[in-house]
């Protein structure tokens, strides 16, 4: 009886009409309101996807409130997922699906990986479940877990997410299960902080004018690794120049972490090669003055990218998409010294498809504390557009993700819109801070673009009336 109850989880609602009682249960709240006179409270959805009769008796019609498949507990199936347009044919590209290998997102919104500095010895907690879960619930096509360290010394702070040991798999699996329960895709960014490791959480460092986390607070300032002995800034730990054997160890750590991510159930893995962390710091001659096969020429400085990508691609399923985040520039062109720039990023991007990378996530900066960023709303999406154009010109299959400045509906639409006079900047729109400000950014964007989309089943009453411009 318990199993039947769990499988069907039927809710019976009784209404009295003149002459006869009428009892029935509903597959979801959306069905009830679609059939009711209160339809103005929410968008309507095709009844065929929600109505599941399984028995009739004595004037009663019963419908199954079907549970999400593959989830170890009951939660109503979100089919289609929140953020799916009612009219897919006429919807903006932003609200259309995109399939890479075996993984299809319902729309082009991706929650960008954002460090929370809130993990317990690398283990994610209920905070992360709530934090990430709300984005999945509110319609993001994919939710990406923050930079997750491949080894303890690869954390930015002592409270960073980690996946260097098996005990860290289960806390991540809980989050993946919740995201999947909303019919949304789950991704994880795997990373090594390199010379920017062993620092304090930003809200602490900013109050005490101190950056380095010493041993008294769980830091490791004497065991920070980098391509050279050049620190990120004066108030950061001086890095140890990694040996070639240690580079091999790091590459292997990325592969082992990727294997654990697969066990946790993630759909997508992203390698973090941006923002001045270990891989990124190898790319720039300003932070890498090595004279061996990992320094000097473009081919040598980018060698670690090829090795990490190859190691990860070799241990994950062929059906799993692999992403890579790079900084398109380190914003140091002004000083006239050789640095990492857009031209080199584009050159590297042209190699990625052949290495097994499916999506290049284009960001910028973070490798030099003297960077001079020219901030506009398009300051990073322009880089993505440049790279995408170069990739398409050579007929390469690499897709592009753009991040930065995507905080309003019209701009989000423009970033990925296909078929217009202007080519899109990217194939995916990665959104960070705006999701922190507004977890329902997908739903608000749909409303502002006059694109009716499905809301979460449980929240359908909050769907905006179509007769008003208010959200």
Active site residues: 277
Distance CA 229, CA 246 (A): 15
Name the token pair of 68: 């999400």
Check residue 439 and report its DSSP letter.
T
**Which residue's entry shows tokens 């729109």?**
429
Per-residue model confidence as pLDDT tens digits over 189-239: 999 999 999 999 999 966 666 799 999 999 999 999 999 999 999 999 999
Distance CA 385, CA 381 (A): 6
* Per-residue confidence (pLDDT) for residue 44, from 0 to 100: 36
Distance CA 284, CA 302 (A): 9
Name the token pair of 302: 């980018």
* Per-residue confidence (pLDDT) for residue 462, from 0 to 100: 87
Name the token pair of 178: 């919740």
**Which residue's entry shows tokens 């729309």?**
107
CA of residue 115 relative to chain centroid, distance: 12
Residues 6+ apart with CB under 8 A from 36: none
Going through 357-448 in order, the beta strands assigned E by DSSP cover 359-363, 399-403, 428-431
Distance CA 167, CA 391 (A): 40
Distance CA 384, CA 397 (A): 15
Check residue 464 and report its DSSP letter.
P
Distance CA 357, CA 364 (A): 19
Residues 6+ apart with CB under 8 A from 290: 227, 228, 241, 296, 300
* Per-residue confidence (pLDDT) for residue 419, from 0 to 100: 79
Q: Which residues of the chain have pLDDT under 70?
A: 1-62, 205-209, 464-471
* Per-residue confidence (pLDDT) for residue 206, from 0 to 100: 65
Distance CA 5, CA 11 (A): 10
Crossing angle of the two packed helices 244-264 and 303-315, in degrees rounded to 10: 40
Following DSSP, what letter does each residue of 140-180 receive, concatenated? Answer: -SEEEEEEEESSGGG-SSTT-EE-SSGGGHHHHHHHHHHHH
* Per-residue confidence (pLDDT) for residue 10, from 0 to 100: 38
Domains of the chain (ranges; CATH) run 84-459 (3.20.20.70)
């Amino acid at each position: 009886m318990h199993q039947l109850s769990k499988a069907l989880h039927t809710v019976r609602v009784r209404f009295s009409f003149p002459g006869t009682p009428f009892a029935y249960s509903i597959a979801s709240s959306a069905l009830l309101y679609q059939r009711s006179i209160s339809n103005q409270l929410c968008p309507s959805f095709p009844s065929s996807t929600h109505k599941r009769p399984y028995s009739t008796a004595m004037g009663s019609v019963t419908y199954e409130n079907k549970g999400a498949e593959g989830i170890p507990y009951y939660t109503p199936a979100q089919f289609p997922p929140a953020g799916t347009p009612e009219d897919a044919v006429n919807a903006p590209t932003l609200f259309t699906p995109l399939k890479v290998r075996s993984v299809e997102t319902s729309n082009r919104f991706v929650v960008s990986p954002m460090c929370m500095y809130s993990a317990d010895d690398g283990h994610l907690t209920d905070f992360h479940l709530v934090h990430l879960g709300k984005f999945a619930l509110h319609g993001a096509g994919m939710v990406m877990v923050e930079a997750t360290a491949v080894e303890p010394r690869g954390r930015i702070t002592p409270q960073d997410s980690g996946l260097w040991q098996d005990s860290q798999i289960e806390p991540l699996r809980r989050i993946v299960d919740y995201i999947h329960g909303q019919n949304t895709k789950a991704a994880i960014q795997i990373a090594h902080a390199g010379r920017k490791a062993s620092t304090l959480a930003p809200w602490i460092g900013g109050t005490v004018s101190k950056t380095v986390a010493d041993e008294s607070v769980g830091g490791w300032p004497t065991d920070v690794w980098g391509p050279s002995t050049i620190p990120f800034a004066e108030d950061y730990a001086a890095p140890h120049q990694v040996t070639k054997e240690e580079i091999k160890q790091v590459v292997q750590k990325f592969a082992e972490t990727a294997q654990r991510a697969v066990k946790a159930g993630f759909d997508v893995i992203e390698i973090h090669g941006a923002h001045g962390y270990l891989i990124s710091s190898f790319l720039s001659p300003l932070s890498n003055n090595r004279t061996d096969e990992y320094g000097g020429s473009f081919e040598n400085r980018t060698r670690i990218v090829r090795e990490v990508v190859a190691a990860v691609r070799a241990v994950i399923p062929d059906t799993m998409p692999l992403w890579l985040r790079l900084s398109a520039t380190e914003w140091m062109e002004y000083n006239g010294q050789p640095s990492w720039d857009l031209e080199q990023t584009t050159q590297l991007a042209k190699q990625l498809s052949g290495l097994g990378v499916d999506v290049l996530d284009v960001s910028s900066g973070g490798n030099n504390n003297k960077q001079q960023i020219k901030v506009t709303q398009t300051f990073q999406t322009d880089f993505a557009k440049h790279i995408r154009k170069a990739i398409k010109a050579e007929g390469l299959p690499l897709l592009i993700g753009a991040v930065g400045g995507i905080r309003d509906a019209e701009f989000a639409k423009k970033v990925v819109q296909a078929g217009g006079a202007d080519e899109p900047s990217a194939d995916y729109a990665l959104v960070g801070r705006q999701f922190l400000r507004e977890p329902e950014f997908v739903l608000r964007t749909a409303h502002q673009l006059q694109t009716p989309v499905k809301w979460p089943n449980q929240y359908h009453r909050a769907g905006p009336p179509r007769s008003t411009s208010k959200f």
